[in-house]
C-alpha cells in the first residue's frame, strides 16, 4: 500500500511539473492591462485570422445593423454573378417608403413615385445604414425579404456558424417591421457572437476587399426631392469626420445600434503591413455619449499598436520539426506577438481549420499554424464554392402587357 501511494505521489508531481509545457503561451514583458469598455469585443488580423485581443468572444449578443455586413455581402455577390447591375433602378414599396419618414428607423428619404439605382441604395445601406435601402436590395436579390433571410442563414451555416439568430435583413427588432419583412417571433432580434462576426468579416473582406472603397466614403450624395442631399458617414473614425485620429486610418466597416444591442461598431484599418479588424459590441458609457463606440475602437487599435508587433517568426525555406515530423516552410511567416517576447517560444501544429501557412512534408503540402499564441485564431471555415441560383422576381416589363394582349387576341380568333 505504501508503494502505491509513493507511485501516485510521483505521478501527480510529474503532472503538475509538466502541465505548464502544454498550456504555455508567448508571454511579454509588456505592461498592457487593456480592458475594452464594451460587453464583448475583439481585435484580429484579417489576413491570417489571428486573434490579438478578445473579450467575451463566445457570448451571443444583439448586433443591430452589423447585420447589413451579411446582407450587403450577398448583394455584392449577386452583382458579381451579374444577377443585375449597379445601374438597375428600384422603387420602394409603400411600407419601405413610410419607414424612411420615421427618424428612429432610417436617415435617407425614399419616395414611391421615384426610382433609385442599385448603386445609390448600396451606398446608402453601407454608409448611413439605410434600412429601407437594404430591404429593397434584398427583394431584388431573392424576390422577398423572407427568402433573403433564408439565404443569409444558409450562408452562415456554410461558413461554420451553426447557431446564428437571423430574423431580418436590416438588424432592427422584428417589432419595428411589417410581417412580410421578417421570419420568427414578433420581438425577435438578430444575434451573433463576436467570434461569429469575426468569421463573417474575414469571409467578406477575403472575397470582396473592394467593399472598402464604399465603406471609406466619408460623405456621399443621395437624391432628395428634386435635388441631391449630402450625407455624412455614420463611421466617425473616417478621415474628415470628428473622431478621426492621424495614424489610425480606419476605412470601414459598419455601425450597429438598437435598444437591445446598444452601440456597436466593426472597424478595420491597415497596420504594420497587414489589416486589423476591431469589434466593439455594446460600448460602455452614458447613452448621450454617441462617440463611445468609436473611442473604444480607437483604444483597441492603440493597444495593438503599442503593445504588440507583427513579427517574422519563420523564414521561407526554414525547416521545423513537429512531433518528430520535419516540415519545410513555403513562405515567410508573420505572427502578432507581445513586444519584447521571445518568438522562439512559439510552437506550431498542423491547422485544424482553413487558416494557417503552407509547408511541405514528404512532398505533401499541409497547413500549419502557431499553436500557443495568447488568444488563438478565428474558427474559420471556407465554404464550398457553389453558385447560388437566385429566382427572378415576378416584376413585368412594359412589353409584357402588349405581348399578353396579342396572345389573348389570337386565342379568341382561332
Helix (H) or strand (E) holding 126: helix 118-127
- Give CA 221 to chain center in angstroms: 26
Main-chain phi, psi angles of 30, to 5 degrees: -65, 150
Beta partners for residue 366, in sequence order? 359
The residue assigned the cell 521561407 is 316
Torsion of CA 43, 48, 50, 55, to 10 degrees: 30
From the candidates 129, 193, 296, 351, give the one annotated as an active-site residue.
Answer: 129
The rounded distance, in Å, linking the Cα atoms of 383 and 65 is: 24
Query: 341 and 369 in contact (C-beta within 8 Å)?
Result: no
What are the backbone dihedrals phi and psi of residue 245, each rounded to the nearest 5 degrees, phi first?
Answer: -130, 125
> Active-site residue among 54, 65, 233, 341?
65
Q: Find residue 361's DSSP bridge partners.
A: 364
Q: How many CA atoms lie within 13 A of 56 on its CB side?
A: 16
Known active-site residue 363: no
Q: Was 59 annotated as part of a binding site? A: no
229 counts as catalytic: no
Q: Name, in order, each residue with C-beta under 8 angstroms of 409's C-beta and a sequence gap of 6 or more.
A: none
Write down the catalytic residue from 68, 77, 123, 191: 68
CA–CA separation, 335 vs 232, rounded Å?
A: 36
Active site residue 130: no
Q: At what angle do helices 131-142 and 118-127 cross, to 10 degrees?
A: 130
Give the whole-angstrom CA distance, residue 145 versus residue 134: 10
Output the CA torsion sign for 188, 193, 196, 200. Answer: positive
Residues making up the binding site = 254
Name the residues annotated as catalytic.
Answer: 65, 68, 129
Residues making up the binding site for substrate = 254
Amino acid at each position: 500500500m505504501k508503494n502505491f501511494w509513493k507511485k501516485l505521489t510521483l505521478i501527480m508531481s510529474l503532472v503538475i511539473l509538466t502541465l505548464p509545457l502544454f498550456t504555455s503561451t508567448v508571454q511579454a514583458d509588456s505592461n498592457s492591462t487593456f480592458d475594452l469598455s464594451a460587453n464583448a469585443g475583439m481585435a484580429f488580423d484579417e489576413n491570417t485570422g489571428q486573434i490579438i485581443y478578445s473579450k467575451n468572444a463566445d457570448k451571443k449578443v444583439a448586433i443591430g445593423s452589423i447585420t447589413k455586413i451579411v446582407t450587403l455581402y450577398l448583394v455584392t455577390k449577386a452583382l458579381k454573378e451579374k444577377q443585375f447591375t449597379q445601374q438597375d433602378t428600384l422603387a420602394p414599396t409603400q411600407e419601405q417608403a413610410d419607414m424612411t419618414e420615421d427618424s428612429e428607423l432610417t436617415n435617407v428619404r425614399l419616395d414611391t413615385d421615384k426610382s433609385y439605382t442599385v448603386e445609390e441604395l448600396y451606398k446608402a445601406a453601407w454608409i448611413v445604414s439605410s434600412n429601407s435601402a437594404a430591404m429593397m436590395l434584398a427583394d431584388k436579390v431573392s424576390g422577398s425579404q423572407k427568402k433573403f433571410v433564408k439565404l443569409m442563414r444558409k450562408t452562415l451555416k456554410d461558413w461554420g456558424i451553426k447557431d446564428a439568430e437571423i430574423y431580418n435583413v436590416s438588424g432592427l427588432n422584428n417589432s419595428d417591421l411589417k410581417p412580410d419583412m421578417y421570419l420568427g417571433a414578433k420581438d425577435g432580434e438578430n444575434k451573433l457572437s463576436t467570434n461569429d462576426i469575426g468569421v463573417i468579416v474575414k469571409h467578406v473582406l477575403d472575397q470582396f476587399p473592394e467593399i472598402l472603397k464604399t465603406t471609406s466614403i466619408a460623405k456621399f450624395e443621395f437624391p432628395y426631392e428634386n435635388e441631391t442631399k449630402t450625407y455624412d458617414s455614420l463611421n466617425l473614425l473616417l478621415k474628415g469626420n470628428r473622431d478621426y485620429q492621424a495614424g489610425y486610418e480606419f476605412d470601414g466597416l459598419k455601425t450597429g445600434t438598437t435598444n437591445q444591442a446598444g452601440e456597436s461598431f466593426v472597424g478595420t484599418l491597415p497596420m504594420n503591413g497587414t489589416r486589423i479588424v476591431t469589434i466593439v459590441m455594446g460600448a460602455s458609457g452614458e447613452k448621450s455619449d454617441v462617440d463611445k463606440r468609436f473611442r473604444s475602437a480607437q483604444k483597441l487599435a492603440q493597444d495593438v499598436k503599442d503593445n504588440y508587433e507583427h513579427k517574422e517568426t519563420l523564414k521561407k525555406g526554414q525547416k521545423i520539426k513537429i512531433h518528430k515530423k520535419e516540415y519545410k516552410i513555403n513562405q515567410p511567416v508573420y505572427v502578432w506577438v507581445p513586444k519584447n517576447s521571445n518568438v522562439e517560444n512559439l510552437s506550431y501544429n498542423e491547422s485544424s481549420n482553413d487558416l494557417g501557412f503552407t509547408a511541405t512534408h514528404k512532398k505533401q503540402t499541409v497547413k500549419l499554424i502557431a499553436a500557443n499564441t495568447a488568444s488563438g485564431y478565428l474558427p474559420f471555415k471556407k465554404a464550398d464554392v457553389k453558385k447560388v441560383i437566385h429566382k427572378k422576381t415576378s416584376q413585368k416589363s412594359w412589353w409584357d402587357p402588349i405581348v399578353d394582349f396579342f396572345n389573348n387576341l389570337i386565342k379568341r380568333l382561332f
